[in-house]
A and B are shown apart, each in its own frame.
Chain A
Amino acid sequence: MTQPDRVTLPTPILEPAGKAPQQEPEAIPVPSEPSEIRRFLRARSSGRAADGTFGGLMLMAALSIFVIVALILWVLIHNSQLSIHAFGWKFFRTSDWDPVSGSFGALPFIYGTLVSSFLALLIAVPLSLCVSIFVLDICPPILRGPISFLTELLAAIPSVVYGLWALVVLVPIVRDNAGPLLTKWLGWTGLFAEPNFGVGMFTAGIVLAIMIFPIISSISRDVMKAVPIHQREAALALGATRWEMLRIGVLRNARIGIVGAVILGLGRALGETIAVTMVIGNHPDIAKNLFNPAYTLASVIANEFTEATGDLYVSALIEIGLALFLVTVVVNAIARILVWAVTRGASTRTA
């Protein structure tokens, strides 16, 4: 039987005395206080109590988030009891909002919120997606940084500044320039009829579109970037044009996340208060005419809360707040789940 090869050792295990250490020639100082350090460390407590306290404090801080939600819900529910008992579900079906006579119907606000948000999505979503595609694929790399920086800046501009600009710039344009044109061309639809005061649903829709554009655009881009690059390469390798590559390799895979981004934008539009209040006209009307002044759930609270007289009035407004809270929570929860499903929870952007 042949002997298997043995490993031959290069040198004996225990080094012969001849090998000199490669450090500095001076002898390593014999530690003078090993026992002191060891004694010190032995005497230290193991920190179990401190660990427990620290962990407990952190846990309490984290639970405060639940507490915040509970407090908000409590205030909303407790203070809207009066209105709920007085009106029940009729509250959301009647369109008669007349605080003076004591009748409170919230339908105009629901209508205003939905229509203005829908309008905003109609304008913002195609534009956001196109811009996302542009930045993702078409635009030269040097422009990417500035454009995304600009988008971030736009997301950071406060609501009141948008409102101020819209009030002074957009409203006259809608009233004097764009409005009459739209009335001339599309007046037959009934959507762009007289009278046009500049403030109204249409203006609010435009401002909202501008405000939700950054969030839809940046989250869509995150979602599209999260699609693995080999999907794109596969499409190109099959001879796809750029648009086909994007459609097959990116959009198809990212569409769940894009829907999530859109819903997040919707959530933002539903709750937007200040800019809308400044340009929507604040009139509880339901009308087909987009130039008509209107009212949203958020803006009625902003506009009338401090002047509300009587407990029922305040309670009605808070009930509106409760409805707004519940709607935005549901919409946001759905959106977050969709976005998470695609990006696996990486990098959440706050609205």
Chain B
Amino acid sequence: MTNALPKRSQHMERAVRLRRSLMNHLVTGLAILSTVIVLVPLVAILVYLVYKGASSLNFAFFTKIPAPVGETGGGMANSIVGSGIILAIASVMGIPLGIAAGVYLAEYGRGGLLGNMIRFTADVLNGVPSIVMGIAAYGLIVVHYKFSALAGGAALAIMMVPTIARTTEEMLATVPHPLREAALGLGIPKWRTIMSVSLRTATPGIITGCMLAFARVAGETAPLLFTAFGNNFWSFKLTQPMAALPLQIYVYALSPYDEWHRLAWAGALVLIVLIMVSVTLVRLYANRGTIKGGH
């Protein structure tokens, strides 16, 4: 039987094998090198942030408002509180709406055209730059009612809804169908089945999704630039401009004052810590899965 492949000389064989082996090692080396190039400086960024931020953190940071320009010893207490208020507004608006939308997608809109269109739109919305949300809130609220915490909360809320809707849907989809069947078989109406079986079983995952969305908008600056607008003093009025941590970090970082730079670093550290805690909690929670195997 004739050999279909052209006969190669020993020399060629060795050359081919060498080339392939070299290529393999090259790529492997590249991959390792890239990982090092990328990850080591990134870890360095985090370490640097911690270092710069920690040296500026003190008790006054959490209790005082910024000192007048030229003086030292101020803090960002008003920004932290302001962020909290704005985030609370955003959550009150965004979380229930997002969860309900997710319930629809998972329990009523599984295969239909409407469900798919909503799903796709939510995914695309998640990629829209957040400054556009700020413009929308500006055009709807600020134009009539001036800069306010409410407008800022609204801008953040419309960012939360598509995110939470999709994560809620994903978590509900992990609830095994036999559980719903068991409830329906007992004569429990569909709405009660969704509330007491599907949602209840998926609760840990849904909370995770909400925390993720919360952490994401907690660090957003752009939507607040012309909605909440920022405030250098204490303010609790929802219809007035309000300070927010990321917003003030932005303003202070770009300012020419050293004292404000110091505040910016400390604020950045606080923000990072809060977000890291959320991400870690989310990871731990997610590993528990949605089915509890026992108390």
Contacts and interface: CB of A to CB of B under 8 A. Distances in A.
Interface of A: 41, 46-48, 50-51, 53-55, 57-66, 68-69, 71-72, 74-76, 78-79, 126-127, 130-131, 133-135, 138-139, 147, 149-150, 152-154, 156-161, 163-165, 167-169, 210, 213, 241-244, 246, 264, 267-268, 270-274, 278, 298, 301-302, 305-306, 318, 321, 324-325, 328-329, 331-333, 335-336, 347-348, 350-351
Majority DSSP secondary structure for residues of B touching A: helix
Contacts of B23: 241, 243-244
Interface in B157-208: 158, 161-163, 165-166, 170, 187, 189-192, 194
Contacts of B67: none
B76 interface: no
B265 interface: yes
Given A65-B162, A131-B31, A241-B24, A158 B131 contact: no
A131 B35 contact: yes
Interface of B: 20-21, 23-24, 26-28, 30-35, 37-39, 42-43, 45-46, 48-49, 52, 96-97, 100-101, 103-105, 107-109, 114-115, 118, 120-133, 135-136, 138-140, 158, 161-163, 165-166, 170, 187, 189-192, 194, 215-216, 218-222, 225-226, 229, 246, 249-250, 253-254, 261, 264-265, 268, 271-272, 275-276, 278-279, 283
Contacts of A350: 123, 126, 163, 166, 216
A75 B136 contact: yes
Contacts of B97: 61, 64
Contacts of A59: 104, 108
B28 A243 contact: yes
18 contacts: A53-B191, A65-B118, A68-B162, A71-B140, A75-B138, A130-B33, A130-B35, A131-B38, A134-B32, A135-B35, A156-B275, A160-B250, A161-B249, A241-B24, A242-B24, A270-B129, A302-B222, A305-B226
A312 B107 CA distance: 47
Contact of B35 (A139, A242, A324): A139
Given A58-B104, A318-B135, A164 B249 contact: yes
Nearest to A124: B38
A152 B208 CA distance: 14
Given A51-B189, A273-B129, A321-B132, A160 B27 contact: no
A51 B165 contact: no
Given A72-B133, A328-B129, A133 B140 contact: no
B144 to A, nearest CB: 12
Contacts, number: 272
Given A58-B103, A65-B118, A241-B21, A328 B127 contact: yes
Contacts of B163: 350
A301 B134 CA distance: 10
Nearest to B173: A346
